Structure 1
Amino acid sequence: MKYLFYTWKLGCLLLLVFAGCSSKKSVSSYHSFESECLGVELDGSETLRAWGRGKNRTDAIEQAKKNAVRDVLFKGVAAGSRECSVRPLVTEVNAQERYAYYFNDFFRDGGEYLKYVSMEDKKTNSDMKTSNKTQISYSTTVRVLRSQLQQKLIEDKILKP
């Protein structure tokens, strides 16, 4: 009987040790907040699903538009459909910092970037939302007018023809 008691006690101790060493289960999953390609139009524009964060829905969607244009300009769009150009428009190293005076004005609230973003491919209820205590993240469908944006950068002498 004494042997059975010690065996049971040892078994419980081992069970507690192994249960305490298990990996912590995550409540929320990791979500990638990078722009993804949905398609390319015949005029050279790219349709993207872009994410933005803000204190409310309007701020988050405005940030998503900026992120979509910034990705087309400086990163290229690798996620999603292979139709979009993986190559960014501006291939010069550190161009965003070098031309900071230009791009800070270009991306200001209500700035020039709005001329190169269209919401015409957006479908009703296509936005996705995630949130935490301080910020809301929204994804939305935007069309970036890549060829017109490229022409503007050539005119402003950021890109060479």
Structure 2
Amino acid sequence: MKKLIYNIGVLMLVLTLITSCGSSQKTVGAHYTSETECLGVEGDGSQTVRAWGTGRNKTDAVEQARKNAVRDILFKGITKGTGECNMKPLLLEVNAQEKYEYYFNIFFQDGGAYKQYVSNEDTRSGSSVSSSTDTQVKYGVVVRVLRSELKERLINDQILKP
């Protein structure tokens, strides 16, 4: 009887060890939000943010993340992260993106003018975060957006009133 209880105990221990050592599912991307978050403000008025983008590959996703960083500063404002970033968007006008759609379609096209106002802030290994599915890749990158220069451009192009 003691031997039977001992064997059942050993069997339960072995089964527990086998099931707990199974391969765990990798869910790194599930814990990150897709909202642009503030990481800090530089002395020249530029904002360092972590922005997210999705695409077919890493290059497309990073390009989309850079566009999203500029777009969020223009139209949404940055509400996540440290409170240092200006929470108000540059364009306070309601439906500004739709009203000036022609201008912003050209501004945000691939290789467009938005690239002058965003730069990679942190290109060290491990500074970007990624997640992927079968067809899409999602990357979060740290970029610096030149907010004051962007504001100046919008004033010169008569999109924003001084």
Matched, 1:150 2:151: yes
- C-alpha RMSD over aligned residues: 1.6
Matched, 1:160 2:161: yes
Give runs of aligned pairs for residues 1-161 of structure 1, distance below 5 A.
29=30, 31-161=32-162
Tell me whether 89-98 or 121-130 shows the greater mean CA deviation: 121-130
Shift of 1:118: 1.1
How many positions carry a matched residue from both structures? Answer: 136
Which structure 2 segments of 5+ residues have no match?
1-25
- The structure 1 segments of at least 4 consecutive aligned residues displaced by more than 4 Å after TM superposition are none
**CA distance in structure 1 between the aligned counterparts of 2:139 and 2:73, rounded to whole angstroms:** 19
Cα 1:92–1:157 shift into 2, 3 Å: same
For 1:58, give the aligned amino acid: T
Shift of 1:122: 3.6
**CA distance in structure 1 between the aligned counterparts of 2:80 and 2:124, rounded to whole angstroms:** 20
**Residue 14 of structure 2: aligned partner:** none
Shift of 1:30: 5.7
**CA distance in structure 2 between the aligned counterparts of 1:31 and 1:100, rounded to whole angstroms:** 30
**CA distance in structure 1 between the aligned counterparts of 2:151 and 2:34, rounded to whole angstroms:** 25
Q: Is the 8 A contact 1:47 1:121 kept in 2?
A: no
Shift of 1:31: 3.6
**CA distance in structure 2 between the aligned counterparts of 1:83 and 1:31, rounded to whole angstroms:** 21
Secondary structure of the residue that 1:87 maps to in structure 2?
A: coil
Question: What TM-score results when the alignment is normalised by the length of structure 2?
Answer: 0.80
Query: What percent of counterpart residues are identical?
Result: 59
**CA distance in structure 2 between the aligned counterparts of 1:103 and 1:86, rounded to whole angstroms:** 21
**Residue 6 of structure 1: aligned partner:** none
For 1:123, give the aligned amino acid: R
